[in-house]
Structure 1
Amino acid sequence: MPIPLRVLFIEDSEDDAALQVRLLAQAGYDVFHERVDSPEGLAQALERPWDIVISDYSMPHFRGTDALTITRQKGLDVPFIFVSGTIGEDSAVAALKIGAQDYLMKSNLGRLVPSVERELRESEERRQRKRLEEQVHQLQRFEAIGRLAGGVAHDFNNVIGAIMGWADVGVRAAEQGSDLQDKFLKIRSQADRASGLTRQLLAFARRQMLQTCNTNLNELAKEEISLLRNVIGERIDIQMNLAGDLSIIWADPGQIEQVLMNLCLNARDAMPDGGRLLIETKNVEVGEDYQRTHAYAVPGRYVLLKVLDSGTGMDAETLAHIFEPFFTTKEIGRGTGLGLATVYGIVKQHKGFIDVDSTLGQGTAFRVYLPLGNGPADQPERPMIGALRGGTEGILIAEDNDDLREAAQEILVSLGYKVIAAKDGEEAVRAFEHHVNEIHLVFLDVVMPKLNGPDAYLKMAALRPGMPVIFTTGYATEINLVPIRTRQTSVVLQKPYGSHYLAQKLREKLDKKN
Structure 2
Amino acid sequence: MAIGKSEYNLGQDLIKVLLVDDDEDDYMITRDLLLDVEALEYDLDWISSYAEALDAIERNQHDIYLIDYRLGERDGMQLLNEALDGGCTAPIILLTGQGDREVDVEAMKAGAADYLVKGQIDHILLERSIRHSIERKALEREHAALEEQLLQAQKLESIGQLAGGIAHDFNNLMTPIIGYAQMGLTTLPEEYRERVYLEEILKAADRATNLIQQLLAFSRRQVVELQVIDLNSLLVNIDMMLQRLIGEDVELVILPSENLGAVKVDPTQIEQVVVNLAVNARDAMPEGGTLIVETSNIEFGEEELKNHPDMAAGPYVMFAVSDTGHGMSEEVKAHLFEPFYTTKEKGKGTGLGLSTCYGIIAQNKGYIWVYSEIGSGTTFKIYLPSSDVIPQGTERPSGTKSNELPRGSETVLLVEDEEQVRELAARVLRQQGYTVLQASNGVEALSIASRHADGEIDLLLTDVVMPLIGGRELSIKLRDIHPNVRVIYTSGYTDEAVIRHGMLKPGTDFVQKPYSLAGLTQKIRSVLDEPREVPATTS
- Same fold by TM-score greater than 0.5: yes
Query: In the aligned structure 1, how far is the partner of 2:94 from the partner of 2:109?
Result: 13
Shift, 1:320, TM fit: 1.0
Residue of structure 2 in register with 1:399 after alignment: 416
SS class of match (2:337): coil
Query: In the aligned structure 2, how far is the partner of 1:482 from the partner of 1:280?
Result: 32
Residue of structure 2 in register with 1:284 after alignment: 298
1:468 aligns with 2:482: no
2:512 to 489, 494, 504: 494
Q: Is the CA contact (8 Å cut-off) linking 1:8 and 1:35 kept in structure 2?
A: yes
2:58 to 41, 47, 71: 47
Structure 2 counterpart of 1:451, which letter?
I
Q: Is the CA contact (8 Å cut-off) linking 1:286 and 1:300 kept in structure 2?
A: yes
Shift, 1:420, TM fit: 3.3
Residue of structure 1 in register with 2:444 after alignment: 427
Residue of structure 2 in register with 1:9 after alignment: 19
Q: Is the CA contact (8 Å cut-off) linking 2:227 and 2:265 kept in structure 1?
A: yes
Residue of structure 2 in register with 1:233 after alignment: 247
Residue of structure 2 in register with 1:365 after alignment: 379
Instruction: Point out where structure 2 has 5 or more consecutive residues left out of the alignment.
Output: 1-5, 7-11, 533-539
Q: 1:348 to 1:482 in 2, by over 3 A?
A: closer
Q: Within 5 Å, which residues of 2 pair with 1:4-153? A: 4-13=14-23, 16-17=26-27, 20=30, 29=41, 31=43, 33=45, 35=47, 37-38=49-50, 40-49=51-60, 50-88=62-100, 91-106=103-118, 108=121, 110=123, 111-153=125-167
Q: Is the CA contact (8 Å cut-off) linking 2:171 and 2:212 kept in structure 1?
A: yes
SS class of match (1:503): helix
Residue of structure 2 in register with 1:382 after alignment: 397
Query: In the aligned structure 1, how far is the partner of 2:42 from the partner of 2:286?
Result: 40
Structure 2 counterpart of 1:427, which letter?
E
Structure 2 counterpart of 1:61, which letter?
E
Q: Is the CA contact (8 Å cut-off) linking 1:9 and 1:35 kept in structure 2?
A: yes
Q: Is the CA contact (8 Å cut-off) linking 1:21 and 1:31 kept in structure 2?
A: no
Instruction: Point out where structure 1 has 5 or more consecutive residues left out of the alignment.
Output: none
Query: In the aligned structure 1, how far is the partner of 2:41 from the partner of 2:289?
Result: 38
| TM-score, normalization by structure 1 | 0.90
Q: 1:268 to 1:30 in 2, by over 3 A?
A: farther
Residue of structure 1 in register with 2:495 after alignment: 477
Q: 1:415 to 1:98 in 2, by over 3 A?
A: same
| TM-score, normalization by structure 2 | 0.86
SS class of match (2:194): helix
Q: 1:295 to 1:482 in 2, by over 3 A?
A: closer
1:174 aligns with 2:188: yes
Q: Which moved more, 1:2-11 or 1:162-171?
A: 2-11
Q: Is the CA contact (8 Å cut-off) linking 2:415 and 2:440 kept in structure 1?
A: yes
Q: Is the CA contact (8 Å cut-off) linking 1:17 and 1:35 kept in structure 2?
A: no
Q: Is the CA contact (8 Å cut-off) linking 2:168 and 2:491 kept in structure 1?
A: no
SS class of match (1:147): helix
Query: In the aligned structure 2, how far is the partner of 1:487 from the partner of 1:505?
Result: 17
Q: Is the CA contact (8 Å cut-off) linking 2:58 and 2:86 kept in structure 1?
A: no
Q: 1:481 to 1:57 in 2, by over 3 A?
A: closer
Q: Within 5 Å, which residues of 2 pair with 1:246-265? A: 246-265=260-279
1:59-81 per-residue CA deviation (whole Å, 9 max, x = no partner) reads: 22221122112122224332111
Q: 1:87 to 1:438 in 2, by over 3 A?
A: closer
SS class of match (1:335): coil
1:367-392 per-residue CA deviation (whole Å, 9 max, x = no partner) reads: 11112345223356536332234123
> As a proportion of its length, which structure holds more helix?
1
Structure 1 counterpart of 2:436, which letter?
V
Q: Within 5 Å, which residues of 2 pair with 1:321-336? A: 321-336=335-350
